[in-house]
Structure 1
Amino acid sequence: MNILKELANRDRVFDFLAPADSPVDVRHGPILYMENVTVSFDGFKAIDNLNLTIDDGELRCIIGPNGAGKTTMMDIITGKTRPDAGQVWFGTRHDLLTMKEPEIAHLGIGRKFQKPTVFEALTVFENLELAMSVDKRVIPTLTARLNGEMRDRIDEVLVMTGLVAQRHQLAGILSHGQKQWLEIGMLIMQRPRLLLVDEPVAGMTEQEMERTAELLTGLAGKQSVVVVEHDMGFVRSIARKVTVLHQGSVLAEGSMDQVQSDPRVIEVYLGESEEAA
């Protein structure tokens, strides 16, 4: 296996820098705070006066029709996109708008994209090993030896993700669902305080969706988890609080029953269905 080639692949996007103990301060407020955030692309407001707060240890589901601004919101949180106006704070001390992507990852914000991105030429165990919160320069990575605590951490994540039996399998031969769990596991290895998960059950079987629901709900409390998803059945199975985005701002917020019965939400989703038809 050519590990150097894998590490040099620019299509591989991983945040290897998060420390075990994030310095985020949540004693006097939420873990994530977005106020009056606006961003435009060529005159189109992708995010329009967005206000959002996520509490420490919370599991929040973000839903909304296509073009609602869900991906742009995550891009702003992770430093990929800079807004035109507004504030974004991680805890009470860290202004994310003054920080670069690696610095934000180092604080403890992890992001999982819709398409699973794993090192397919490496085993499940090796993928988790590479994702561990240690020195990730190439030479130390290739020469490092795992201690007992590190192996215990990997074993713990293997159990959490349901991949114990696949620990020595190449990631490339895993099922779609297993690759999703492996990537979530790689993020867990970094001990993030905030985990952003984009459409985790797209393309999954019903059984895989149930396992993913167990995994994400099991993380809540240990980490803050924000899940962006289109599958309403899955959202209902995990939702504690749901935020509905529309045209770049919050349209409704509350329990799944509350947002589903909101006339504004019904109008937005029915309108999308009629346009698609």
Structure 2
Amino acid sequence: MTILQSLANRDRVFDFLIPDPSPVDVRHGPILYLEDVSVSFDGFKAINDLNLTIDDGELRCIIGPNGAGKTTMMDIITGKTRPDHGQVWFGSRHNLLTMNEPEIATLGIGRKFQKPTVFEALSVFENLELAMSADKRVMPTLVARLSGEARDRIDEVLEMIGLQTERDRAAGILSHGQKQWLEIGMLLMQRPRLLLVDEPVAGMTEQEMERTGELLTSLAGKQSVVVVEHDMGFVRSIARKVTVLHQGSVLAEGSMDQVSSDPRVVEVYLGEES
């Protein structure tokens, strides 16, 4: 029995537990569009006239040296940081610079930070249940009972993240890799259209890295996925298109073979890896 069930009136079924379809319109362009975006902190230009587009259903890898602006870029997209100038659009209708963080998340942009943040005392199932896009006011949460459709959604996500056999285990005893997958699953419960993933394989075993690559590539097409990562072997294994950031702007873009053979990329970034 789940946390919500234990407090539920068994005759109640709350349809608000099932999120509405995303209102994002991508019929006339990319799902994410950044134009001439700049932001400075104490005189340091963290983002410098950045131009970037992400297509609907695309898997994009973002690489670059420390200080290239990768985290700041994600902060701008999610509303944590406001740029000094530029435009940031989600689909053709939603100006993200006019929205706050909760509004952007509700619109369909999910972000996974490097360190997994799961509820360790709760089971895998309960973590997914609580993450479901829903009315978060106290009383509805206390009395809500999962509908059949909501249970099906949790089962679907459990299968996607490969944790079906761990559904009743406490999240705190999962491996590092499994916690990362669970957090991705918690984001997927909210049906994001765009998923921002920061260094997903840091600290993982080779087997966990391989499984993570399979998970992220399986999501492409269903969601747009932007992966920021330093492990070049992992990037090569999943990359379809790679964007290299340097000093807050795009240095190079293309396939992994194209960017890894670009002398500018070798000089400022890949040379550090050898």
* Counterpart position of 1:241: 241
TM-superposed CA distance for 1:143, in Å, is: 1.7
Give the secondary-structure state (helix, strand or coil) at the position aligned to 1:111. Answer: strand
C-alpha distance in 1, partners of 2:160/2:261? 35
Distance 1:19 1:76, change over 3 A: farther
Q: Which moved more, 1:136-145 or 1:109-118?
A: 136-145
Structure 1 letter corresponding to 2:269: Y
TM-superposed CA distance for 1:18, in Å, is: 10
C-alpha distance in 1, partners of 2:87/2:269? 29
C-alpha distance in 1, partners of 2:113/2:214? 19
C-alpha distance in 1, partners of 2:143/2:179? 26
C-alpha distance in 1, partners of 2:18/2:238? 26
* Counterpart position of 1:208: 208
* Conserved? CA contact 2:47–2:249, under 8 Å: yes
TM-superposed CA distance for 1:164, in Å, is: 0.7
* Conserved? CA contact 2:260–2:270, under 8 Å: no
TM-superposed CA distance for 1:272, in Å, is: 4.5
Where structure 2 has 5 or more consecutive residues not aligned to the other structure, the ranges are 4-16
Give the secondary-structure state (helix, strand or coil) at the position aligned to 1:60. Answer: strand
TM-score by length of 1: 0.91
* Counterpart position of 1:31: 31
Give the secondary-structure state (helix, strand or coil) at the position aligned to 1:158. Answer: helix
* Conserved? CA contact 1:57–1:225, under 8 Å: yes
TM-score by length of 2: 0.92
C-alpha distance in 1, partners of 2:162/2:133? 21
* Counterpart position of 2:43: 43
Give CA deviations for 1:77-104 in whole Å, capped at 9, x if unaligned: 0000000010000001000001100110
Distance 1:145 1:97, change over 3 A: same
* Counterpart position of 1:224: 224
1:173 and 2:173 are equivalent in the alignment: yes
Question: How do 1:126-165 residues align onto structure 2 when only pairs under 5 Å count?
Answer: 126-165=126-165
Structure 2 letter corresponding to 1:71: T
* Counterpart position of 1:108: 108
* Conserved? CA contact 2:18–2:150, under 8 Å: no
> Runs ≥4 in structure 1, deviation > 4 angstroms?
270-274
Where structure 1 has 5 or more consecutive residues not aligned to the other structure, the ranges are 4-16
C-alpha distance in 1, partners of 2:191/2:110? 9
